[in-house]
Chain A
Amino acid sequence: MRLVRRGHEPAWLPVAAVAVAVLVTVALSAIPIRLAGANPRAAFERYLLVPLSSTLGLYEVMLTATPLLFTGIAVAIAFRAGYWNIGAEGQFLMGAVGTTAVALNAPDLPSWAALPLGFVAGGLGGLAWAWLPAWLKRRGAIDEVVTTLLLNPVALLVVQGLLNGPWRNSETGFTDSDRFGAGYDLPPLISGSRVHWGFGVAVVIVVITWFVFTKTAVGMQIRASGQAPDAAKFSGIPVARLRFRSALVSGAVAGAGGASQVMGVQHQLTQGISNNYGYTGIIVATLAALSPVGVVLVAVLLADIAVGAENVSLVLQVPTQLGAIFAALLLLTVLSAMELRHYRLARSGRRRHGATPVSAEEAS
């Protein structure tokens, strides 16, 4: 058997490919779940269904999805333009730093001023962190994959440095910042839940992104720059400038994610403020095929699995990391399936090897 490239691809193929990928993921992740001593069926039910089947669970999923929406759409914006921003993690952290800087220096602002200011400061923090690699890329054609990636641990060191130095908690002496003033608390989006307005802001950003990509001339130019840069250049589209700007917007959106997380959840800067949200954002954007609608769906799915993983570990006594294994397997199988769908299996030509060849008389 071997793979042969398909001549024609039916419309249902991508859907079927994803379905197959999900089945393969379920089958493969059943193995470690079994090894951990749990019943795979019960585990899957808890990973996927239980969180969505209660209002409380649903709130938790929305809360968990919020930072992923920010980083997912941030990565999608950059990738769409053909700028490979792997630095959403660092930009998210620097966004949190930006917000914290404002909150610690103007603690008593009323919320009508504090919240917008907090978001703007977060956005600027992320933008600033995204600027250097984007500038290097534009001026010196320095590979942004390397520079954005390497700036992530630097951002974490900046956070740690600040928390060990000037921003060390003045009451407890722990390496967390002081708690922000009450004006900086993002109000709940749904009363009685922990879901905060960050979720709303994220959804607004997703909608704006969708609008820009599908309805505006700039959006079409960005897509052209990402999908066929040479053709875009040929058509007079300023590819380098669009990529540079998309990189900055991407950084700003990731930074706004950091702002949302400090103001909506932690209310102070902590070292663990980003739970690898920036990296997960890459998974979200990739699985979503860079579509804004897809980002929402995938962010919610991954949040569902993450929330479910907590539940599974409590109830079935298996490690929470199984949730991460599940998500990682899903990424690998979906990406493989999307590539493999271009091919079909064919019987190898070797079958005819032993058979009597068509006689020479017939041929000549």
Chain B
Amino acid sequence: MTPTRPLLELSGITKRFGDLVANDAVSLSVASGEVVAMLGENGAGKSTLMKIVYGLVRPDGGTITMDGRPLDISSPRDAMAAGIGMVTQEFSLVETMTVTENVALSSVGLGRVDVRAARQRVVDAMDRVGVQIEPERLISTLSIGERQRVEIVKALFHECRVLILDEPTAVLTPQDVRALFETVQRLRRTGLGVLFVSHKLREVAEISDRVVVLRRGSLVGERATAEVTTHELASLMMGGTAPEEDVASAVGLPVAEVPEEAPVAPREGAGTAERRPVLILTDVTLERPGRPALDHLTFEVRPGEIVGLAGISGNGQTELMNVLGGVELPTSGRVEVDGAAVTRLDVRGRLDAGLGRLTEDRRGSVVPQLSVEHNLVLEDLPSFTRRGMLDKAAIRAHAEEVIRRFDIRATPTDPVSSLSGGNMQKVLLARALSRRPKVLVAAQPTRGLDVGAYRYVHEQLHELRDTGAGVLVISEDLDELRSLCDRILVLFRGAITGGLPVAEATSERLGAMMTGESVEV
């Protein structure tokens, strides 16, 4: 595939948010029939750059040209008119409307909608991409992968010539990723330019013709994909100083390529199998209108093991977290922590029974306006209260100790809202671990964290496991689960479809289970 002249060109794009330089004079181009991958870890400035191209953020400097003509993009409408289409991680589809209506919706003026003509155009656009979805189907009946394809069709409907896919595989099963890649190849052959934004090296290596690497807001490298190794890309992404295993684990390289991070076998020496499980769920069901969010969910976590719970989001993870954490009571079933039934206990009762929790929604677990020291004791106020009064000295001493032990970059009196994501996660981790839980339930424990914090969280979870506690990690990131866990279970429609020791948990097998195919444990 020989790229022709550049179609979309960015030059010198600069964007500052206060002191933070999100994009520092970034220049790149996409030609017709070319797939350019933009690689960078979380926080490297990829999203900001894409928002600038799509008119959601105004740059402080730099120019954008299409076919050599300068563009002034101040809204997504301008971007679309210039031939730029974007598919973001969050879809903008109306669930109660059909595929045709959704596609037509984005181009409706004040006049009436010619449904027949719209349908025909939708079908044409789908043919171009090789997408087969009934135009009359409601969005609510489509899978996540199908919805993403509808978004792509929507972009093509606007005669787009450059398509931006922002982290398109984050929400997909391995099978859906395959289908997406085929779609992208087909689009490329029709002469479309594709900008593929990702932080996953493997995907980038597979799909792109050219890779540009963004680090801390600057363009640090540009390579032809065929002439570069994944390790070179990884070190570009991380900067020269990061040791190789950091690089690989952070960017989602297959575990096999990273011997240092090789999965640890379940500790059989300690005789974990005979010891009483620290977390047992038996037939836990949570009814919801339609179908149950949790459907006779049954599994256990033994002391000294890290169990991963894989699954595509929306299959009961949030509800499971609520039921485990005591925020919501299950309709039926039984939850045991360290041998004691906690099914009907409130949050406090569960904490006392030995449960620790680390939620996905970091900001939803702290009170941002309260200080670090107060957030640290929020779950355990009675221990820091004397006759109803806050024991200031004890709270401060606890905070200082925890800050030292967990290396939190803050003072006890800083409001939590002023902390970075990594430090906030450390506060939450410290809060959960300082009560010495028998079992820790962690949802997406490293989402959005930088390499250092990512490593740190994994170390802490391993350390907790090694002291004999059980850990349950709920995550959509298979690579993370494989590098962290001893055993991986798969959640599908609120039930476990199977479990595998980490050594046998290949993407293909997990992927099959994540879409509902049962696999023997």
Contact = CB atoms under 8 A, between A and B. Distances in A.
Given A7-B18, A8-B18, A363 B389 contact: no
B263 interface: no
Nearest to B27: A363
A221 B384 CA distance: 13
A363 B29 contact: yes
Nearest to A4: B17
Contact of A357 (B63, B364, B366): B63
B327 interface: yes
A353 B9 contact: no
Contacts of B351: 236
A221 B10 CA distance: 50
B367 A228 contact: yes
A362 B367 CA distance: 48
A202 B60 CA distance: 53
B369 A227 contact: yes
Interface stretch (B65-73, B167-175, B455-463): B65-73
Contact of A227 (B11, B68, B370): B370
A350 B325 CA distance: 51
Interface residues of A, number: 34
Contacts of B365: 231, 234-235
A223 B370 contact: yes
Interface in A210-246: 215-218, 220-221, 223-224, 227-228, 230-237
Interface string A235-269: 11100000000000000000000000000000000
A233 B357 CA distance: 13
Contacts of A228: 364, 366-369
A364 interface: yes
Interface stretch (B34-42, B201-209, B374-382): B374-382
Nearest to B322: A234
A52 to B, nearest CB: 33
Interface string A122-159: 00000000000000000000000000000000000000
Nearest to B10: A363
Given A236-B347, A237-B378, A231 B72 contact: no
Nearest to A214: B390
A357 B12 CA distance: 10
B452 interface: no
B227 interface: no
B11 A357 contact: yes
A349 interface: yes
Contacts of B11: 357-358, 360, 362-364
B18 A6 contact: yes
Contacts of A231: 363-367, 378
Contact of B379 (A6, A8, A230, A235): A235
Contacts of B58: 2, 348-349
A352 B374 contact: no
Contacts of B367: 223-224, 227-228, 231-232
A349 B58 CA distance: 7
A342 to B, nearest CB: 11
A357 B70 contact: yes
A218 B388 contact: yes
A5 interface: yes
Interface in A183-222: 215-218, 220-221
Contacts of B239: none
A8 B19 contact: yes
Best-surrounded residue of A6, A232, A234 (most CB of chain B within 10 A): A234
B389 A360 contact: no
Contacts of A363: 9-12, 27, 29
B188 to A, nearest CB: 21
Nearest to A8: B18
B390 A364 contact: no
Contacts of B389: 215-217
A230 B364 contact: yes
Nearest to B63: A357
B59 interface: yes
B63 A352 contact: yes
Interface in B95-110: none
B362 to A, nearest CB: 10
Interface in A305-364: 348-350, 352-353, 357-358, 360, 362-364
A314 to B, nearest CB: 45
Contacts of B6: 360, 364
Nearest to A350: B72
A5 B17 contact: yes
A224 B365 CA distance: 11
Contacts of A349: 58-61
Contacts of A220: 370, 374, 378, 381, 390
B438 to A, nearest CB: 17
Best-surrounded residue of A215, A221, A233, A357 (most CB of chain B within 10 A): A357
A216 B391 CA distance: 9
A234 B60 contact: no
B368 A236 contact: no
B428 to A, nearest CB: 10
Interface of B: 6, 9-12, 17-20, 27, 29, 58-63, 65, 68, 70, 72, 325-327, 346-348, 351, 357, 359, 361, 363-370, 374, 378-379, 381-382, 384-385, 388-390
Interface of A: 2, 5-8, 215-218, 220-221, 223-224, 227-228, 230-237, 348-350, 352-353, 357-358, 360, 362-364
The 8 A-B pairs at the shortest CB distance, nearest first, are namely A7-B18, A236-B347, A363-B11, A357-B63, A363-B27, A228-B367, A236-B348, A217-B385
5 contacts: A223-B369, A231-B366, A234-B327, A364-B9, A364-B11
Given A216-B385, A224-B367, 9 more contacts: A8-B19, A224-B370, A231-B363, A349-B61, A352-B63, A358-B12, A360-B6, A360-B68, A363-B29
